[in-house]
């Protein structure tokens, strides 16, 4: 059992879990099989670690509201990504130095099998916060460690890294990712220097005293003013720096997540590639101590529509990453044991122009295998009204060898027009091959995987629950080798709170 030392705050955040438990299970907008907080606002996954036989998932959490603010660390754990146990809150903003939020960070296990959390403490101007014009005044890095009674104790030496190195912006210095390298600890921190995103590297022998080793990658005026949530992945001997640049001009001003492969001992910002082409996947992190490279990301949701609910935000399904010459491939983690049953199956079907396959479901997995053609387009309309008056659409454009998302006909009740994410060019290696597409729909969330994991697109859409028809059609005769639709059962949630 891992809990905070400060029982009164633990109680109040945990009390919220108990008092709100089950209130949202019938909410028709709430995802049923994605990792999600029991209630309240959720953003980045934090402290992902495989420890004592469990995948531990900590996360940015506001237990008191469905909007961002008052950020705590929630905690849930699972063995199979189907049975989730919600645990006591582990970090509350209860110290002077972290009074305005315990921001993102990571978890490590030391040689004595003891868990440590490293996070960013956040402060606004005293007496103010983001909602009444308060400006950020400082961010620094902190440590909390489990004691022999299982209590999560914040270090008396906090913050353990008080300021960024020279020239660094002291209000944009966050999201420490700590991992083991040889016989020392290594920490990467996201930062901003002269309006350039940078990733800084520190090392330590004891998790408390840190030496600044230098900057390992920077945007050089090309890729945003601030890089958040760094992570260093080692995939089949290839080192990969994954991070989330904010409001990137060349990506329509959106905050995106991507990676740079290490080449010639260098991370070159010109080689940045997206890890997800959708508009709502952000701040991914990998599990420490896991033999495979498994990541989770935050699925953001257009906040305004969720404020009347007692929750907002979710995490992605776990994705396993592999390296290839065409880029990093992300596929649903094979150890994820969702319960599903086949509800539709078709083999070797030719679909003529203007014909369609019509299916139904909003908690489903759809898999399609079709032959890549030289002409025409394939349309997969999701969350559609029966009369096709609205839908969210994936378009595979064989003529132009592009795949893209089109949300312009969605009935999402957004305040602003939703972003479609980013077009993707067919990888060269798939010419004249079969095209596999795997789509997960979970109420307001859609995750799409294609081209063997080279194309992933995550989006959230607040369309009316009644609109859950799926249409598959093509403007030129198309051969479908197979189409399968599975109904996915809700995952099972229980809670185990410290008494």
The residue ranges that bind ligand FRU (CB under 6 A) are 43-44, 60, 71, 103-104, 120, 174-175, 228-229, 282-283
Closer residue to ligand FRU, CB minimum distance, 105 or 361: 105
User: In 236-288, at which residue ranges do the beta strands (DSSP E only) sit?
Assistant: 238-245, 258-261, 273-274, 281-286
**Residue 249, token pair as written in the block:** 């001009």
Closer residue to ligand FRU, CB minimum distance, 283 or 403: 283
Closer residue to ligand FRU, CB minimum distance, 192 or 201: 192
Residue whose token pair is 């891992």: 2
Q: Which of 294, 239, 285, 246 is nearest to 264 (CA)?
A: 239
Q: Which of 29, 73, 75 is nearest to 51 (CA)?
A: 75
Q: Whole-number minimum distance, CB 101 to ligand FRU, in Å?
A: 6
Q: Whole-number minimum distance, CB 43 to ligand FRU, in Å?
A: 5
Q: Whole-number minimum distance, CB 120 to ligand FRU, in Å?
A: 5
Closer residue to ligand FRU, CB minimum distance, 102 or 151: 102
Q: Which of 400, 399, 446, 398 is nearest to 420 (CA)?
A: 446
CA atoms of 446 and 286, how far apart (whole Å): 21
**Residue 463, token pair as written in the block:** 């369309």
Q: Whole-number minimum distance, CB 300 to ligand FRU, in Å?
A: 8
Q: Which of 330, 303, 307, 292 is nearest to 458 (CA)?
A: 330
**Beta carbons of 76 and 57 less than 8 angstroms apart:** yes
Q: Whole-number minimum distance, CB 257 to ligand FRU, in Å?
A: 10
Closer residue to ligand FRU, CB minimum distance, 130 or 481: 130
CA atoms within 13 A on the CB side of 161: 26
Closer residue to ligand FRU, CB minimum distance, 103 or 272: 103
Q: Whole-number minimum distance, CB 132 to ligand FRU, in Å?
A: 18
Closer residue to ligand FRU, CB minimum distance, 68 or 414: 68
Dihedral of CA 26/27/30/35: which sign?
A: negative
Q: Whole-number minimum distance, CB 359 to ligand FRU, in Å?
A: 34
**Residue 1, token pair as written in the block:** 């059992």
């Amino acid at each position: 059992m891992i809990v905070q030392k400060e029982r009164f705050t633990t109680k109040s955040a945990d009390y919220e879990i108990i008092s709100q438990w089950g209130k949202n299970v019938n909410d028709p907008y709430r995802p049923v099989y994605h990792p999600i907080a029991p209630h309240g606002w959720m953003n980045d996954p934090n402290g992902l670690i495989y420890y004592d036989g469990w995948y531990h998932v900590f996360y940015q959490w506001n237990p008191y509201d469905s909007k961002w603010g008052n950020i705590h660390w929630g905690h849930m754990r699972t063995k199979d990504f189907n049975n989730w146990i919600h645990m006591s809150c582990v970090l509350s903003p209860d110290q002077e130095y972290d009074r305005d939020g315990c921001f993102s960070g990571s978890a490590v296990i030391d040689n004595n099998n003891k868990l440590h959390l490293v996070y960013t403490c956040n402060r606004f101007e005293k007496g103010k916060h983001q909602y009444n014009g308060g400006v950020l005044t400082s961010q620094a890095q902190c440590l909390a460690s489990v004691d022999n009674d299982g209590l999560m104790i914040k270090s008396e030496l906090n913050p353990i890294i008080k300021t960024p190195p020279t020239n660094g912006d002291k209000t944009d210095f966050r999201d420490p990712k700590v991992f083991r390298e040889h016989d020392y600890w290594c920490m990467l921190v996201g930062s901003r220097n002269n309006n350039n995103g940078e990733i800084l590297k520190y090392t330590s022998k004891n998790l408390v005293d840190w030496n600044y080793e230098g900057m390992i990658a920077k945007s050089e005026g090309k890729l945003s003013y601030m890089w958040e949530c760094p992570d260093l992945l080692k995939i089949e001997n290839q080192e990969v720096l994954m991070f989330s640049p904010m409001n990137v001009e060349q990506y329509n001003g959106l905050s995106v997540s991507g990676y740079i492969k290490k080449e010639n001992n260098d991370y070159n910002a010109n080689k940045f590639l997206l890890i997800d082409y959708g508009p709502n996947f952000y701040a991914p992190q990998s599990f420490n101590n896991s033999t495979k490279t498994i990541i989770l990301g935050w699925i953001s949701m257009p906040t305004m529509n969720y404020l009347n609910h007692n929750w907002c935000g979710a995490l992605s399904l776990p994705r396993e990453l592999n390296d290839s010459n065409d880029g990093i491939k992300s596929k649903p983690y094979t150890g994820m044991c969702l319960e599903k049953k086949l509800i539709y199956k078709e083999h070797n079907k030719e679909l003529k122009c203007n014909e369609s396959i019509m299916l139904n479901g909003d908690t489903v997995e759809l898999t399609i295998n079709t032959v890549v053609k030289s002409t025409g387009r394939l349309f997969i309309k999701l969350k559609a009204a029966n009369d096709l008056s609205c839908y969210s659409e994936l378009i595979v454009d064989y003529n132009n060898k592009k795949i893209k998302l089109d949300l312009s006909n969605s009935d999402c009740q957004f305040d602003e027009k939703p972003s479609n994410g980013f077009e993707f060019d067919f990888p060269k290696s798939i010419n004249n091959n079969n095209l596999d597409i795997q789509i997960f729909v979970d109420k307001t969330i859609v995750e799409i995987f294609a081209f063997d994991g080279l194309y992933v697109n995550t989006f959230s859409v607040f369309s009316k629950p009644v609109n859950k028809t799926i249409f598959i059609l093509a403007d030129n005769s198309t051969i479908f080798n197979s189409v399968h639709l599975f109904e996915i059962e809700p995952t099972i949630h229980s809670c185990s709170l410290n008494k």
